[in-house]
Amino acid sequence: MTSTTEPYAEFAERLATTTLLRFATAGSVDDGKSTLVGRLLHDSKSVLTDQLEAVERVSLSRGQDTPDLALLTDGLRAEREQGITIDVAYRYFATPRRRFILADTPGHVQYTRNMVTGASTAELAVVLVDARNGVVEQTRRHAAVAALLRVPHVVLAVNKMDLVGYAEPVFTAIAEEFTAYAASLGVPEITAIPISALAGDNVVEPSAHMDWYDGLTVLEHLETVPASHDLAHCPARFPVQYVIRPQSASHPDYRGYAGQISSGVLRVGEAVTVLPSGRTSVIEGIDALGESVDIAWAPQSVTLRLADDVDVSRGDLIAPSGQLPPSTQDVEATVCHVADRPLTVGQRVLLKHTTRTVKAIVKDIPSRLTLDDLSQHPAPGQLVANDIGRVRIRTAEPLALDPYAESRRTGSFLLIDPADGTTLSAGMAGDAFAEGAGAAAVPADEEGWDF
Amino acid sequence: MTTTVASVTEGTDAPYALSHLDALESEAVHIFREVAGEFERPVILFSGGKDSIVMLHLALKAFAPAPVPFTLLHVDTGHNFPEVLDYRDRTVARHGLRLHVASVQEYIDAGKLRERPDGTRNPLQTVPLTERIQAERFDAVFGGGRRDEEKARAKERVFSLRDEFSQWDPRRQRPELWNLYNGRHAAGEHVRVFPLSNWTELDVWQYIAREGIELPEIYFAHEREVFARAGMWLTAGDWGGPKEHEHVETRLVRYRTVGDMSCTGAVDSDATTLDAVIAEIAASRLTERGATRADDKMSEAAMEDRKREGYF
């Protein structure tokens, strides 16, 4: 929010250079997640007067003396009636430096699919723990989901520091235990911050109670962490969405391939290959929403023109000829099952990968993962709602599928029920956790997680 | 305490970063193109309000130099602002588009809908809207709804499946993962599509300013005859105001939203330019709907209830 006194020109200039960060929160209600979200929104002045008044009005009518900030985030009748959050909700707030999209996901174990949904688009996940309880099963679950979905940045918010006397050793012990665990799963960057969401310590304002902590507050970290850092440095991938052919008097020969660059950088003059046909050409032009450019990068939506008249249609993938993704009809992946009906061996499904949807069959479900301890259970036969498991899928046509570890866009897919279109599972191609993960931190009595 | 376990490339916000407006624009264009690629008969709900104007602008950019491959649909409450209808018709003509109009007045005249005692026609839009969707067999219907508008909308998906009665069931929504939108639907069902889901009111205004998009003049401060009702300034007119005890006065006002005249209030403002409007919104302590929409105040779940029936 800006002050009314700021000159408009400066304001506009600053807005034009702000970036967007998508992040997700994880943590059960008891850990103070609603309070943290409420405080981020409130202290960044993103809750407006009429919204607060509505919360106060309802709280009063229920006989509560203080406004229940959870009412800000629980939008549906059923949620208000039951006093729980049942579904992902998206919140929006801004500071002078950045715009934020917060995927507010319920923390209960039965809602794993919601955290997976929120984490799928997140560049950062905030995992909350109660300083009095330390790292618990639920914390491990959240870390595992963040690692599985390859969320690049994880923040451990050690909450309720006011209830442990703001003691540094309590924080340090929790931070070290969590960091070792999350690092073993392959989480690339972990930042631990001691906070009190209720008292406001280190959320937006630095704490006056923890002189020993010299790091950033939660909001400062959210404002400065690199956003979408992983996209431009990967091999370029361009799933074709739609072919633009005006066939008009002014554009009789225009033929452009519209799509959103899912990773990497594309340049005019670059040699490219169209998959699955394997035909090659050269990028003749890039139209970036009305402007002709020499270079474009993820996640820009552009239109490519190729030098040769090759056959390209929706569902094809254009990539630099020297950096092609592997092509396969046998998909090995980890899936999170999101539907109420189960996924079974032998089931016929549709697989949606980038802009391509193909027929597929579930050949095998070799194992199911228990997130609590990352143990694997062989041959479960089926996956039910909120289960995470390994699958082997045979597709009717080859897919240009990157490992999810290398691209969250071209390594991910949906399984869909062909009968009624229900989204069944969220899939991630390749190994579940990062390479080399697991070995160091698996306790001896567990079977390991490279399932 | 930060632990960097593997190498995370630092400082890559430049040069390969997009401004937040570019990121939102790119995402919205992706959504338009997905619908064009996967549906047979899409339509854009176009009211002449700023959100639908931005939607149309994005669609024009998404398919250029080809024309927008969608028709437009306007639900005319019969109480629309004349300036907005004029803007609507000029825009349709300029871009060579096809416009469907579903008329609440025709439904009332035919006895298929009954005027409400409070004169508000906003909730009456649902029936003409959903019947027209069925009659034209539209399978994808673009709406300008944003998740920041209202807490029931915060739960809305970008692709939102509606059954053959156009109903929304918030407990049976498809999870939306990555940017993989699932548009599968049975005959008779349709999908509501919200390309501006992740935009805020301020984003919409910034984008309008950046792109130089023309708007109906009622969005800017002007002198207007208004009267106070339920804490809002309503425009006097044949639609049913003022009543005997209500006093008309001339004030300098503008509109933050454009809807049915009977329930869309003006705000006091001297913002006559885009820059001034943006500065005013950035400083406002009221949400757009809180300031100017009467129908959302009817009950705690007013929006959710209307959305369940097929409203946007």
What residues of B are in contact with residue A15 (Cβ under 8 Å)?
A: 21, 206
Min Cα separation B37/chain A (Å): 6
What residues of B are in contact with residue A314 (Cβ under 8 Å)?
A: 37
Min Cα separation B119/chain A (Å): 24
Please indicate whether the domains covering A238-320 and A327-429 agree at the CATH topology level: yes
Band (pLDDT 50/70/90 cuts) for residue B12 is very low
Min Cα separation B181/chain A (Å): 9
Report domain extents, chain A.
20-224, 238-320, 327-429
CB contact under 8 A, B66 and A244: yes
User: What's this model's pTM, rounded to 2 decimal places?
Assistant: 0.90
Q: What is the mean pLDDT of residues B128-148?
A: 93
| Distance between first and last Cα of chain A | 47
- The shortest CB-CB distance from B154 to any of A89, A98, A190 is to A89
Min Cα separation B238/chain A (Å): 30
Show pLDDT as tens, one digit a residue, over chain A (451 residues): 334 445 556 656 666 678 899 999 987 767 778 788 888 887 777 776 777 777 777 778 878 776 666 666 655 555 555 544 557 888 888 888 899 999 988 766 567 888 899 999 999 999 999 999 999 988 998 999 999 999 999 999 999 999 999 999 999 999 999 999 999 999 989 999 999 998 889 999 999 999 999 999 999 999 999 876 556 678 999 999 999 999 889 999 999 999 999 999 999 999 999 999 999 999 999 999 989 999 999 999 999 999 999 999 999 999 999 999 999 999 999 999 999 999 999 999 999 999 999 999 999 999 999 877 788 899 999 999 999 999 999 999 999 999 999 999 999 999 999 999 999 999 999 987 765 454 333 333 333 333 3
For B182, name the nearest residue in chain A, comparing CA atoms only. Answer: A423
Does B308 contact chain A (CB < 8 Å)? Answer: no
What residues 35-94 of chain B have any CB closer than 8 A to a CB of chain A? 36-37, 61-67
Beta-bridge partners for A24? A103, A125
Could you say which architecture CATH assigns to the domain B20-202+301-309? 3-Layer(aba) Sandwich (3.40)
Report domain extents, chain B.
20-202+301-309, 217-297
CB contact under 8 A, A8 and B276: yes
Mutate to test the interface with A, among B9, B12, B19, B20 (most CBs of A within 10 A): B20
**Under CATH, which number does the domain A20-224 receive?**
3.40.50.300
Query: Is B290:A48 a contact under the CB 8 Å cutoff?
Result: yes
Could you say which architecture CATH assigns to the domain A327-429? Beta Barrel (2.40)
For A409, name the nearest residue in chain B, comparing CA atoms only. Answer: B178
What residues of A are in contact with residue B200 (Cβ under 8 Å)?
A: 92, 94, 99
CB contact under 8 A, B182 and A414: yes
Min Cα separation B61/chain A (Å): 5
Could you say which architecture CATH assigns to the domain A238-320? Beta Barrel (2.40)
Min Cα separation B108/chain A (Å): 31
The identity of residue B67, as a single letter, is P
CB-defined contacts A:B, below 8 A: 268
For the cut 50, the answer to whether the pLDDT of residue B47 exceeds it is yes
What residues of B are in contact with residue A231 (Cβ under 8 Å)?
A: 16
For residue B199, the model assigns a pLDDT of 95
